[in-house]
A = this chain, B = another copy of it.
Amino acid sequence: MLTERQLLILEAIIQDYTNAGRPVGSKFLEQQLPMNVSSATIRNEMAVLEHLGFIGKEHSSSGRVPSLKGYRYYVDNLVKPDEIDQNEIESIRLSLDSNYYKVDEIIKESAKILSEMTNYTAITFKPEVKNLRFQGFRVLPLGNQQVMMILITSDGNTESQLFNLPRDLSGDEIEAVIRVINDRIVGLPLDQVIARLHETLPLLLHYVQHPLGFLDIFGSILERSAQEQFFVGGKLNLLNFVGDGDVEQIKKLYSLIERSDDINELVGNSGQTIQVKIGDELTNSSLANYSLISATYDVAQHGQGLIALLGPTNMPYSKMIGLMRAFREELTRKLLDYYHLYEE
């Protein structure tokens, strides 16, 4: 549908705009492009591209700026991911190469590294978030009528919380409660745990007079566990792309990036290995000027995770997509190492 020349022009506009950030004029392209045509011809072609909706103007006599549709077309058809410099890969590897005790730490560090390399905001998810299961429930007596309740999830993570016992509960009764709960919910996906516990309520009443306190705590622990499934690095970078003085906008963005629901909705990745969402494809209206590149990563039997990069729509896609590819690879390697070390 587009001619070769139009493609070249579109690509050049996007590449220049994503690098320099200012609208691209016909004279500039005349010099920039390898072909021998005058600026008038380029103007004609640009008029066509504009008519088709791939580019636009900021005002009637400004240079051209890619539209969201233009970016979309570019990302889908034209972009060639950059090969990432060996030095840069080395630096990723180095940054990831610490002694970590938890997968969480690796994933958290990944968000930090990615955001520092790009000056954008990075969001990283642990592997296997979706089908995390409940693995066990323990209670550790601390004396003084207090116990620590500990929940263990299938990725080996734990959440714990102090609980002050009702005075009328004996050690045996606690044991019984623990057994009942474990019998009923071990192996369940986390999001079903609460419902199942409510079903178990009548049974618990045999042992405890007010089991609702227990349930409250389960709720709050599980909630925390669900919230800590991802990490955000470089939050402040999000503010670099906000119109001057728009404090309202900044506040919206910031509260967005701190709500886990919003984050989860934001990155919903439909299983493609690398996915780019541009501008209004991000459901949240505060993010009309942002794009999100997300990449899944697989860690063999340990499941799939996701890394994502949130930056302005005019980010240099080729470079960023290349980087995400490279980073995904390094992260996978690191995680396999980790699991190998501790679990084989």
A37 at interface, CB cutoff 8 A: no
A162–B247 CB distance below 8 A:
no
A247–B251 CB distance below 8 A:
no
Kindly identify, within residues 116 to 156 of chain A, every residue whose CB is under 8 Å from any CB belonging to chain B. Answer: 136, 138, 140, 142, 144-146, 148, 150, 152, 156
Kindly identify, within residues 98 to 121 of chain A, every residue whose CB is under 8 Å from any CB belonging to chain B. Answer: 99, 101-102
Residues of B close to A244: CB separation below 8 A:
244-245, 247
A156–B162 CB distance below 8 A:
yes
B152–A342 CB distance below 8 A:
no
B216–A101 CB distance below 8 A:
yes
CA distance A161 to B104 in the complex (A): 11
B242–A162 CB distance below 8 A:
no
A160–B162 CB distance below 8 A:
no
Residue in B144, B160, B247 whose CB lies within 8 Å of A242: B247
CA distance A113 to B74 in the complex (A): 49
| B-contact 0/1 string along A249-263, CB 8 Å cutoff | 011001100000000
Residues of B close to A101: CB separation below 8 A:
161-164, 213, 216-217, 220
Residue of B nearest to A252 (CB): B236
A273 at interface, CB cutoff 8 A: no
A102–B150 CB distance below 8 A:
no
A158 at interface, CB cutoff 8 A: yes
A99–B162 CB distance below 8 A:
no
B102–A144 CB distance below 8 A:
no
Known: A102-B161, A158-B148. A239 touches B251 (CB 8 A): yes
Residue of B nearest to A139 (CB): B140
A342–B145 CB distance below 8 A:
yes
Residue in B99, B145, B160 whose CB lies within 8 Å of A158: B160
Residues of B close to A138: CB separation below 8 A:
140
A240 at interface, CB cutoff 8 A: yes
A343 at interface, CB cutoff 8 A: yes
Residues of B close to A162: CB separation below 8 A:
101-102, 156-158
Residue in B157, B164, B250 whose CB lies within 8 Å of A342: B164
Known: A138-B140, A150-B148, A162-B101. A240 touches B247 (CB 8 A): yes
CA distance A148 to B136 in the complex (A): 13
Interface, chain A (partner B; CB < 8 A): 99, 101-102, 136, 138, 140, 142, 144-146, 148, 150, 152, 156-158, 160-164, 213, 216-217, 220, 236, 239-240, 242, 244-247, 250-251, 254-255, 341-343
Q: List 23 A-B contacts (CB under 8 A).
A: A99-B213, A101-B220, A102-B162, A136-B142, A138-B140, A142-B158, A144-B343, A146-B156, A146-B342, A148-B152, A148-B158, A150-B160, A156-B162, A157-B162, A158-B160, A158-B162, A164-B342, A240-B247, A242-B247, A244-B244, A244-B247, A245-B246, A250-B250
Question: What 9 pairs between A and B have smallest CB-CB spacing?
Answer: A245-B245, A244-B245, A164-B342, A160-B160, A236-B251, A148-B158, A239-B247, A102-B162, A156-B162
Beyond known contacts A140-B140, A254-B254: 10 more, CB 8 A cutoff: A101-B163, A101-B216, A101-B220, A136-B142, A142-B152, A144-B156, A148-B158, A240-B247, A242-B247, A247-B250
